[in-house]
Structure 1
Amino acid sequence: MLFETADTAEPSGQGLSTSPLLQNLNPEQFAAVTLPATHALILAGAGSGKTRVLTTRIAWLMQTGQVSPGGILAVTFTNKAAKEMMARLSAMLPVNVRGMWIGTFHGLCNRFLRAHYKLANLPQGFQILDTQDQLSAVKRLCKQFNIDDERFPPKQLVWFIAACKEDGQRAKDVQVRDEEGRKKVEIYALYEEQCQREGVVDFGELMLRSYELLRDNVPVREHYQRRFRHILIDEFQDTNKLQYAWIKMLAGQGEEATRGSAPMPGGSVVAVGDDDQSIYAFRGARVGNMADFVREFNVTHQIKLERNYRSFGNILDSANQLISHNNNRLGKNLRTEAGPGEPVRVYESTSDFAEAQWFVDEVRQLIR
């Protein structure tokens, strides 16, 4: 897998050397911000300024007239990150960022379904269930249908339903292997019916129903493929199967995304992520989405952000050495110009409580 350096990246757009937006970027950040309008993977190490790169790229695309504010879709993983991005954009350009499509997967899908609630078969004022609401709904269902909550604990049923939705599966799509699995699928189906009847959706449903509407409604799909000319995804290593399928649908990639009489060419996708920071496999994240993206989108522009602005050299050297033992890495080595810093100490505690106590003692000593 080949990665560009700042020297090999193609310049694109206008005003590369004169725009104040591009001042104080390091060479790798500059190359990432000024990428041409094509699919790209930015492998961004911890503390390498990826939020700055994403925000500056959006501002640069608008400043150079390559896209209007309405033609950008930027996906973050937390509401805090989305707010930070919008605040930075407001400081960079005189543009109303509140109307832009910048937010989390769930926030953007909520906005999408509010706009198309009839097509999504939802009431106009549909309510969103949080985790506790969802658990209460499953408990109510178990009581109504006399389901043994010791054999089928409600919390585990919630996890099962969420995992199915993250895989893009309705109850009818789930493969049943045994009697326990059959019962769980039956409960999933009952839960779906109850939510539809009551006009409520959980977080997984926001994603799944948005994806299904894009997949099944050609005019809606082509409208958004035409609209979003630049799609930027943060924390790409944390995306799950359904989220990646949703991105492909909007970008016009794959057989399902191009069905119709006049399939639309999708916009460019810039994915920013770090396979070394993939820690959410337990909740459905697929670090393999990064390699799939490179292959399926025929990505030719790949840039590594390896200069770290957060830590000293000794910490980075230790982290680089430790992570080097991981298999199937895309590969990078963080570096810094901040000097070596203090030597790294290793402390092994006897328990989680002892570890917490040691940490508190260290903090107390540091603030004396």
Structure 2
Amino acid sequence: ILAVTFTNKAAKEMMVRLSDMLPVNVRGMWIGTFHGLCNRFLRAHYKLANLPSTFQILDTQDQLSAIKRLCKQFNIDDERFPPKQLMWFISACKEDGQRAKDVVVRDEETRKKAEIYALYEEQCQREGVVDFGELMLRSYELLRDNAPVREHYQRRFRHILIDEFQDTNKLQYAWIKMLAGQGDDAAAGEHAMPGGSVVAVGDDDQSIYAFRGARVGNMADFVREFEVQHQIKLERNYRSFGNILDSANELISHNSKRLGKNLRTEAGPGEPVRVFEATSDFAEAQWFVDEVRELVRGGTARKEIALLYRSNAQSRVMETALFNNGIPYRVYGGLRFFERAEIKHALAYLRLMDNPHDDTSFMRIVNFPPRGIGL
């Protein structure tokens, strides 16, 4: 069994539930995120993948630092080719399964970006590091190009389960098809088992990650390519009242190419949905303050009131309005533990001890604590 989730939290919860249900040790089971499972796969086959046994993984910030270092080394104009945009370009190529040589060059800008992508690949290979996109792409390439390895895993994983399928990108879907022995990407050998079973759970109406490569069309492709005979639609909702579901159903019905479903509930209609359009962000914040005061006067506890916003940049005006009106509040979120500077510095020291060729980690800690070293 191979079970794929999108977050470490979901993978850990699945392991805990299974350990409570099964009389066997579940630690050896292949349950995790796409990147976590590909990391495990490459650790087991690092020689075939042309990687050192102690290869390190670059997170997004480390990847950006590596690209900035590359731009400086090769005198690349960072105004014409901002490092962050180069990072997005490289990640998008990898999510589409493209190496630098595969990039379709339509203009001079794309040609230059492809050249930088090639230089970045050489740098990562030299330093023995991989980014998140590389974990997936190199795993896919190893399965595609090595028939014995591919056939071994096709025999091993007879049942594949994928959660949040609407968030998969082109490469992840191709990886799943190959492991399942399905489609042109599988290229099954003479000893390959017949296709394995795949259970995909997803909601095409919740696909919100197209900006980072997610392809909602994978769901319709899955139904067609795997010749799915039995779709189970989970249409009963346990979280919301009828008015919310009616509004959601009406709004999402305008989306094209949906697999289609109609949410319902037995919780009753609930309060009507209200829409307020403000003239400015300040007017919006004042409206929210007035709403909070009205709710509190009506007996609602402050801890029962929540404000959701799309980006952290929107919180400043709201926070200022709440503060100026003496309304206590708490902001949830912020930097995760492993994204804190001091933690990243400590990890960089450990990585450099393990791999002296890791220039990205060296650049992070060479002046932390400050040593007055000019670079």
Contact 1:258 1:264 (C-alpha < 8 Å) held by counterparts? no
| Residue 145 (structure 1) shift | 0.5
Deviations 1:273-321 (A, max 9, x none): 1111111111111111111111111111111000111111111111111
Deviations 1:178-202 (A, max 9, x none): 1111100000000000000000000
Change beyond 3 A, Cα 1:355–1:123: farther
| Residue 361 (structure 1) shift | 5.9
Residue 45 of structure 2 corresponds to 116
| Residue 149 (structure 1) shift | 0.5
Distance across 2 between alignment mates of 1:83 and 1:363 = 37
Aligned residue for 2:24, secondary structure, equals coil
Distance across 2 between alignment mates of 1:138 and 1:234 = 32
Aligned residue for 2:63, secondary structure, equals helix
Contact 1:165 1:204 (C-alpha < 8 Å) held by counterparts? yes
Distance across 2 between alignment mates of 1:341 and 1:131 = 43
Contact 2:5 2:164 (C-alpha < 8 Å) held by counterparts? yes
Change beyond 3 A, Cα 1:360–1:275: farther
| Residue 80 (structure 1) shift | 1.2
Distance across 1 between alignment mates of 2:215 and 2:254 = 19
Change beyond 3 A, Cα 1:90–1:354: farther
Distance across 1 between alignment mates of 2:146 and 2:75 = 39
Deviations 1:112-168 (A, max 9, x none): 111111111100010000011000000000010010001000000000000000000
Distance across 2 between alignment mates of 1:80 and 1:125 = 25
Query: What is the RMSD computed on CA atoms of the aligned residues?
Result: 3.6
Aligned residue for 2:257, secondary structure, equals coil
| Residue 255 (structure 1) shift | 3.0
| Residue 82 (structure 1) shift | 1.1
Contact 2:144 2:187 (C-alpha < 8 Å) held by counterparts? no
Using the size of structure 1 for normalisation, the TM-score is 0.77
Distance across 1 between alignment mates of 2:47 and 2:286 = 55
Distance across 1 between alignment mates of 2:16 and 2:213 = 30
Change beyond 3 A, Cα 1:144–1:361: farther
Change beyond 3 A, Cα 1:206–1:361: farther
Count, aligned residues: 295
Distance across 2 between alignment mates of 1:341 and 1:95 = 45
Higher radius of gyration, 1 or 2: 2
Contact 1:226 1:266 (C-alpha < 8 Å) held by counterparts? no
Aligned residue for 2:231, secondary structure, equals strand
Change beyond 3 A, Cα 1:357–1:197: farther
Aligned residue for 2:23, secondary structure, equals coil
**Higher relative contact order (Cα pairs below 8 Å, separated by 6+ residues):** 1
Change beyond 3 A, Cα 1:259–1:138: same
Unaligned runs of 5+ in 2: 295-374
Change beyond 3 A, Cα 1:222–1:328: same
Using the size of structure 2 for normalisation, the TM-score is 0.75
Distance across 1 between alignment mates of 2:291 and 2:203 = 30
Residue 128 of structure 2 corresponds to 199
Deviations 1:192-225 (A, max 9, x none): 0000000000000000000000001111111111
Deviations 1:69-100 (A, max 9, x none): xxx11111111111122222223333322221
Aligned residue for 2:199, secondary structure, equals strand
Change beyond 3 A, Cα 1:291–1:182: same
Aligned residue for 1:128, secondary structure, equals strand
Change beyond 3 A, Cα 1:351–1:129: farther
Distance across 2 between alignment mates of 1:263 and 1:115 = 21
Contact 1:162 1:204 (C-alpha < 8 Å) held by counterparts? yes
Change beyond 3 A, Cα 1:349–1:100: farther
